Amino acid sequence: MNEQGTIFDQILAGKIPADVVYEDDFVLAFKDINPQAPIHVLFIPKVRIKTHNDIDEANMEYVNKIHLAINQYAKQIGEDKNGYRIVMNCNENGQQTVNHIHMHFLAGRQMEWPPG
């Protein structure tokens, strides 16, 4: 993972376009450019928290706001009743590829288990 500015930092700065589906003061959500489900959206905090291991009391409000944003978005698109999957990867073995936490929102089909 790159320790410099991430692609998400560039999206937040408006330097790279994104298909934004949700935004508030804490969270930005946009469609994944390589979707793994009919609906695949990334929810990111507007501050960089590198990995799940870096979540603490000082930045926990951003993580809580992501969960609330996901709930709101799921209701907005009608997937709250059908169901959906949210995923957060952590570090290399967890397949985290961007050094800025993000939650994958996957919906629009029956999910399978185990995921991989």
Residues in the chain: 116
- The CA distance from 75 to 29, in Å, is 15
Q: What is the largest CA-CA distance in the chain?
A: 40
For 37, phi then psi, to 5°, come to -155, 165
Which residues lie closer than 8 Å to 52 by C-beta, 6 or more apart?
88, 90, 101
**Each residue's pLDDT tens digit, 77-89:** 999 999 999 999 9
Average pLDDT over residues 56-70: 98
pLDDT score recorded for residue 115: 75
- The CA distance from 26 to 112, in Å, is 31
Catalytic residue list contains 40: no
CA 10 to chain centre: 15
pLDDT score of 1 more than 80: no
pLDDT score recorded for residue 75: 98
Percent of the chain with pLDDT over 90: 92
**Each residue's pLDDT tens digit, 72-115:** 999 999 999 999 999 999 999 999 999 999 999 999 999 999 87
In the set 67, 100, 102, 104, the catalytic residue is 102
**Each residue's pLDDT tens digit, 23-45:** 999 999 999 999 999 999 999 99
Q: Are 29 and 41 in contact (CB under 8 A)?
A: yes
Closest CA to 34 of 48, 22, 19: 19
